Amino acid sequence: MQSQIDPGAQGQTGDRPLIAEFRAATKRYGAVLAADALSFGIGKGEFLSFLGPSGCGKTTALRMLAGFEVPTSGDVFLDGERVTDVPAYRRPVNMVFQHYALFPHMTVAQNIAYGLMQRRPRPDRAEVARKVDRALDMVRLSGFGPRRIWEMSGGQQQRVALARAIVNEPKVLLLDEPLAALDRKLRREMQIELQTLQRQLGITFVLVTHDQEEALSMSDRICIMRSGRIVQAGSPLALYDQPINRYVADFVGKSNFIDGVVSALSGEGGQIETASGYRFEGRVSGVLAPGAKASLSIRPEQIDLANSAHPGAEPVTVINRIFLGEHTEYLVRHAALGDLLVLVARQAEAAAGSFAPGAAAFVAWKPETALILPQD
């Protein structure tokens, strides 16, 4: 397998033409660097997510696209045009706000029509009504037009916000943590709906989220951000399988980390040695030199849990067991390596039997499923 990151990881958009682009876009708030020389292209029709913890600069990036923030230096391009100094109201993009920001003094239909009514010359009333109806239809709120905003539930308000944005047929639709205020079940529904809508409309979607599951399930491409920089960009699969460092591996999916230094490198493989003298083989992902600090990353589902010793297996004690339906999650403790998370599929557990807390067990994993990653 290739240990190099796929071309998408470098911020390329493959064969898609660019619809938006940051060129060394920097945003400074006093001493805080919210965006640090972002250079990045967004492809036409792409579903792109900015993923990171709060304060990583993902919202700043989105707001620079919307026109709410002017970069301290650098440029923003939309559809080939430099829009760095173009105010928000002249940009062909629309945003779905985190708390919806629906106009409380207008009806649902008036909210949705708002963007269309700003166009000059003013569009025909019948045309506006037709587009509003179609947008309501698209978010499954037909007939809700005359309602007041405060008569709508949270999930319905979310749909109104979405309809208010897409009715303008923006070149890029910006979504600022749009599902954060919804409960889990509704969030899952809206994720599927958003994805379907994006395919139907063919509009470029740019999503900001701190929820990795949301980003993984919807995006074509994800940018993992930290301290105003893009750490890695790539398809969900590429980020999951080939993270360039520990930060990315930790943010995308769950993982176990064993710290050490690189003791050997050979092509795509390598070896890590822990402080307690253990040596583990693994695939090298990211840039590493012998002797460098590194972490071995093993996904919980790649670890086998067995009740008898076998070559290469390490003895552990079961600390906790959580039944998750199709999976069972075990927390096990190794005397030298610390706590490890193990995910056992239902079928595997049915075959090997389950472990009660306090039971002794053995863990093992295939070296090719372990990754040796730079710590930073």
Site residues, another protein (CB under 8 A): 66-68, 87-90, 93-95, 97, 99, 101-105, 114-115, 118-119, 148, 150, 164, 168
Minimum CB distance to another protein smaller for 95 or for 206 = 95
Residue 23 φ then ψ, to 5°? -125, 105
What residues does 318 pair with on adjacent strands?
332
Q: Least distance from C-beta 109 to another protein, angstroms?
A: 13
Minimum CB distance to another protein smaller for 90 or for 185 = 90
Q: Least distance from C-beta 127 to another protein, angstroms?
A: 16
Instruction: For the chain, count helices (H), then strands (E).
Output: 9, 20
Minimum CB distance to another protein smaller for 171 or for 229 = 171
Minimum CB distance to another protein smaller for 104 or for 267 = 104
Minimum CB distance to another protein smaller for 164 or for 221 = 164
Residue 167 φ then ψ, to 5°? -60, -25
Q: Least distance from C-beta 115 to another protein, angstroms?
A: 4
Q: Least distance from C-beta 92 to another protein, angstroms?
A: 9
Minimum CB distance to another protein smaller for 160 or for 298 = 160
Minimum CB distance to another protein smaller for 168 or for 219 = 168
Q: Least distance from C-beta 98 to another protein, angstroms?
A: 8
Q: Least distance from C-beta 100 to another protein, angstroms?
A: 9
Buried b (16+ CB within 10 A) or exposed e, 18-55: bbbbbbebbbeeeeebbbbebebbbbbbbbbbbbbeee
Q: Least distance from C-beta 82 to another protein, angstroms?
A: 19
Minimum CB distance to another protein smaller for 74 or for 115 = 115
Q: Least distance from C-beta 133 to another protein, angstroms?
A: 18
Query: Strands, DSSP E only, in the chain?
Result: 18-29, 32-43, 47-51, 73-78, 81-82, 93-96, 172-176, 204-209, 221-226, 229-234, 256-266, 269-273, 279-284, 293-298, 304-306, 314-323, 327-334, 338-345, 360-364, 371-374
Give me 105's structure tokens: 């003094």
CA–CA dist 110, 278 (Å, integer): 66
CA–CA dist 327, 346 (Å, integer): 5
CA–CA dist 50, 230 (Å, integer): 9
Minimum CB distance to another protein smaller for 68 or for 362 = 68
CA of residue 257 relative to chain centroid, distance: 21
Q: Least distance from C-beta 174 to another protein, angstroms?
A: 8
Q: Least distance from C-beta 203 to another protein, angstroms?
A: 15
The set of long-range contacts for 284-288, using a CB threshold of 8 Å and a minimum separation of 24, is 284/3, 284/371, 284/372, 285/3, 285/5, 285/242, 285/243, 285/244, 285/371, 285/372, 285/373, 286/243, 286/244, 286/245, 286/373, 286/374, 287/244, 287/374, 288/262, 288/372, 288/373, 288/374
What residues does 314 pair with on adjacent strands?
363
Minimum CB distance to another protein smaller for 167 or for 337 = 167
AA letter at 167: V
Query: Please, how many CA atoms are within 13 Å of residue 242, restricted to the half-sphere of its CB?
Result: 20
